[in-house]
Amino acid sequence: MSNVLRRTSVALLCIMYYALCVNAAEVKSPNGNIVLNFSVEQGRPVYSVTYKGRDVILPSHLGLELAKDKHASAQFSETDLMDGFSIENEETSTFDETWQPVWGETRDIRNHYNELAVTLSRKWTSQPPKSANGAQLAPRRHNRTIIIRFRVFDDGVGFRYEFPQQPDLNYFLIKEERTEFSMAGDHTAWWLPGDYDTQEQETQECRLSEIRGRMQQAVNWGNSSVAVFSETGVQTSLQMKSQDGLYINIHEAACLDYATMHLELVDADTKHLSEKLGGGSNAYTPDPKPSDYPLPKPFTFVSHLTPDATGLKGAMQTPCETPWRTIMVSDDARDMLSSNLILNLNEPCKIEDTSWIHPTKYCGVWWEMIVGKSSWNYTDEFPSIKLDQIDWNSVKPNGRHAANNEKVKRYIDFAAKNGLDQVLVEGWNVGWEDWANMWKRDVFDFQTPYPDFDIKMLNDYAHSKGVKLLMHHETSSSTQNYERHIEKAFQLMNKYGYDAVKTGYVGDIIPRGDHHYSQSMNNHYLYVIKEAAKHHIMVNSHEATRPTGLCRTYPNLVGGESARGTEYEAFGGSRPDHTCILPFTRLQGGPMDYTPGIFETKLSSWSDNTSWARITIAGSLALYLTMYSPLQMAADLPENYEKFDDAFQFIRDVACDWDDSRYLEAEPADYITVARKAKGTDNWFIGGKCDENGHQSIVRLDFLDKGRKYDCTIYADAKDAHYDTNPKAYTITRRVVKRGDVLKVKEAPGGGFAVSLIAR
């Protein structure tokens, strides 16, 4: 599992050039279903998209508002890249290659698109100041060119702005990107409230016209939202469904050194963009200024970037480009899940030797702290601590510290016995006594273990059993502090044999005023990934910005959180349909460390926590298939798994890297069924997960090898299973199957099923 070849083969590369003096262009997807039109109207770039002749994006403007830079000379007072454009050149080309990811849902990924690159020119004249002798100098002519590049795939469209290096555009500040996505109707949307710092809310489902009315509830219901910017601001990836059955998804790809994009919906009540939402907002956030440009028509989303501490959206140096803005579209919901459009829009792998990158199944000293039965911190002796002023060997232990030698050894034993690769240990390092929300800069050093965590002994012990420990670096969002210690922290990992780190960004960003999804923070996350790669360390980044497919370029980014994960089952719980939405939204940009596998869903059965997970055991097993990730946790306690060892067998067996994947059934927030072929084997695994209504799944085994027999084990909900009243009722059925057989499995409310198919 640990060595995955990465080969890129260009199957077909055919480029056609032509240059025309026109003001419109059209490009189609390879299969002709998707048509993109581009034109310049009254100097403003406009695009539209259709799918099988039906409107996906109505004519929508493109452009960026720039901020005046105090350093720029007067001749650049013409700052905007919004209007005054004419088409200077158009190029179309076709690209078709098949590449192999280091890890993924399929062995091969086809990257096939038709491209349109439009060069736009914006000319103006400036009047230089008078010369020293009072002479009036001749007016100066200026010309700025930008390129808008469209790629039209069979499963959607990607486009971005490119800024070539040029005398009149070297450095610029972005006031706001003004990319519009004009919807053709009052679609149903699955959305999160726009927020600069968290994506951990519950997903809202409603018509576009209902978003404004639902916003306050969305904010209050979810995680405490600290930086909501608009009454109609939503996050991406945004999944929609038109009333006539078109599935449309808007997100972005390859967000590198650029602010994360949100979408702001123009509705009938919109007076100007970026209306400030009362309550729950961050008092320290500068108010985004409303835009000067006229509002587009209702049901249009306009991009809204995450600001820096000054309210600006980005500082750019040419040559550069924005991330790709992506629009996935199909009349089959399954195509939303099998699409590789976002990965394809990212750059190929930049890590030469990827032999050290490997999918990983792990357990961890984690859930019992999340539930509240034990603690990350070692002592309760002090109202606050300063790392350089504590003698840890003489402080009074609180007796609740989870990351102790004895417990960690028990987890190592459990991992070794059950074929799990690694053991995550949170709370191993000093600083947890007052780690969060104190505006405390020097909160962790990432190097000093608590006295009851013998880092050398425990790593040696784990290695002797064929297991590795998984490092944890909670930064408390004090990014400067993390960067100051990162090199030594990674050296420590190398010294003791860790090869993966879970990073965390809980709380407000330090430096104060910055946000989790700003340009500078996105640069920070990438910095960590690159520095980790130098040390052959895989990264699993929690509370970081939502992913945009960068794992293709940097496959040591093996996972992330950036959504409402399993931890919320201990914080009041998530709706049963939550995991039937995430693959349509959060997972579009890359795998999520969802940490599934809670078997004892009623936490009060073993703790004082009254929260509970709205899922059956069979449903929990399904998540190892439906929530694709090369990093899969068995999140529950060893003693809870030991009570259901026959069901746990599936977690022991299931792969976490794949040669093939087939999405068999899918409907957002209702159900997802997927079959996957384990990497380098002939074995298949199937998972089906449904919402609170249950689901009758019918699985045709027409993907199996012809003439071959498979030992099939079906982990299903018992007849009377129910996520609330009877979550632990499951059946395990064994039979022998062959290609063409049909499995009919009934999923309980909040339930699901899992199947292993071992080739004979």
Nearest distance, CB of residue 437 and its own copies, angstroms: 4
Rounded to 5 degrees, φ, ψ at 582 are -50, -40
Tell me the two tokens of residue 4: 């995955």
Q: Looking at 161-169, 262-270, 444-452, 458-466, which segment touches its own copies (CB under 8 A)?
A: 161-169
338 to 59, 179, 639, 662: CA distances (angstroms): 28, 26, 36, 8
d(CA 389, CA 169): 51
Is 483 a residue that touches its own copies (CB under 8 A)? yes
Tell me the two tokens of residue 578: 């939550």
Is 312 a residue that touches its own copies (CB under 8 A)? yes
Residue whose CB is less far from its own copies, 71 or 744 = 71
Residue whose CB is less far from its own copies, 307 or 451 = 307
Of the residues 53, 134, 383, 707, which one makes contact with its own copies according to CB under 8 A: 383
d(CA 116, CA 48): 13
d(CA 343, CA 339): 9
Nearest distance, CB of residue 282 and its own copies, angstroms: 7
Q: Quick check: helix, strand or coil at residue 539? A: strand
Nearest distance, CB of residue 536 and its own copies, angstroms: 19
Radius of gyration of the CA atoms of the chain, in A: 26
Q: Which helix (H) or strand (E) holds 54?
A: strand 54-61
Residue 630 CB neighbours (<10 A)? 30
Sorted by sequence, the CB contacts under 8 Å of residue 484 that are 6+ apart come out as none
d(CA 2, CA 556): 12
Residue whose CB is less far from its own copies, 196 or 584 = 196
d(CA 610, CA 392): 34
Nearest distance, CB of residue 665 and its own copies, angstroms: 44
d(CA 468, CA 496): 10
Residue whose CB is less far from its own copies, 68 or 465 = 68
Q: Looking at 383-391, 497-505, 595-603, 731-739, which segment touches its own copies (CB under 8 A)?
A: 383-391
Of the residues 244, 269, 381, 487, which one makes contact with its own copies according to CB under 8 A: 487
Length of the chain: 760
Of the residues 136, 165, 243, 464, which one makes contact with its own copies according to CB under 8 A: 165
Residue whose CB is less far from its own copies, 88 or 483 = 483
Of the residues 91, 514, 691, 747, which one makes contact with its own copies according to CB under 8 A: 514
Sorted by sequence, the CB contacts under 8 Å of residue 321 that are 6+ apart come out as 160, 161, 162, 163
Of the residues 44, 289, 484, 738, which one makes contact with its own copies according to CB under 8 A: 484
Residue whose CB is less far from its own copies, 320 or 458 = 320
- Range 41-70, binding its own copies (CB under 8 A): 68-70
The shares of helix, strand and coil residues in the chain, as percent rounded to the nearest 5, are 20, 35, 45
Residue whose CB is less far from its own copies, 163 or 663 = 163
Please classify residue 69 by burial: count the beta carbons closer than 10 Å to its beta carbon, then call 0-12 exposed, 13-18 middle and 19+ buried: middle
Which stretches of 306-450 are assigned E, i.e. beta strand?
Answer: 314-317, 320-321, 324-330, 360-365, 422-425
105 is catalytic: no
Nearest distance, CB of residue 255 and its own copies, angstroms: 16
Q: Which helix (H) or strand (E) holds 216?
A: helix 211-221
Residue whose CB is less far from its own copies, 32 or 286 = 286
Q: Looking at 24-32, 378-386, 633-641, 692-700, which segment touches its own copies (CB under 8 A)?
A: 378-386
Is 278 a residue that touches its own copies (CB under 8 A)? no
The active-site residue, picked from 90, 105, 321, 567, is 567
Closest CA to 744 of 692, 701, 690: 701
- Range 207-266, binding its own copies (CB under 8 A): 226
Nearest distance, CB of residue 312 and its own copies, angstroms: 7
Closest CA to 73 of 20, 148, 147, 142: 142
163 to 17, 18, 46, 71: CA distances (angstroms): 20, 21, 18, 20
d(CA 286, CA 312): 10
Q: Looking at 51-59, 77-85, 160-168, 687-695, which segment touches its own copies (CB under 8 A)?
A: 160-168
Q: What x-and-dash track marks residues 117-156 binding its own copies by CB under 8 A?
A: ----------------------------------------
Total residues interacting with its own copies, rule: CB under 8 A = 44
CB 74 within 8 A of CB 68: no
Crossing angle of helices 455-464 and 405-418, in 10° steps, is 20
CB 618 within 8 A of CB 721: yes
Tell me the two tokens of residue 622: 């399904």
Q: Looking at 21-29, 95-103, 244-252, 435-443, which segment touches its own copies (CB under 8 A)?
A: 435-443
Of the residues 171, 347, 705, 733, which one makes contact with its own copies according to CB under 8 A: 171
Is 17 a residue that touches its own copies (CB under 8 A)? no
Residue whose CB is less far from its own copies, 317 or 733 = 317
- Range 494-513, binding its own copies (CB under 8 A): 511-513
- Range 561-620, binding its own copies (CB under 8 A): none
Nearest distance, CB of residue 531 and its own copies, angstroms: 9
Q: What x-and-dash track marks residues 518-547 binding its own copies by CB under 8 A?
A: --x--x---x--------------------
Q: What x-and-dash track marks residues 292-311 binding its own copies by CB under 8 A?
A: ----------------xxxx
Closest CA to 302 of 37, 550, 57: 57
Residue whose CB is less far from its own copies, 545 or 713 = 545
Concatenated DSSP letters of 416-435: HHHT--EEEE-S-BS-GGG-
Of the residues 71, 271, 734, 760, which one makes contact with its own copies according to CB under 8 A: 71
Q: Looking at 28-36, 39-47, 165-173, 242-250, which segment touches its own copies (CB under 8 A)?
A: 165-173
Is 173 a residue that touches its own copies (CB under 8 A)? yes
Tell me the two tokens of residue 457: 């002994």
d(CA 420, CA 636): 13
Question: Which residues contribute to the site for its own copies (CB under 8 A)?
Answer: 68-71, 165-167, 170-171, 173, 226, 282-284, 286, 308-312, 315, 317-318, 382-384, 386, 434, 437-441, 480, 483-484, 487, 511-514, 520, 523, 527
Residues catalogued as catalytic: 567
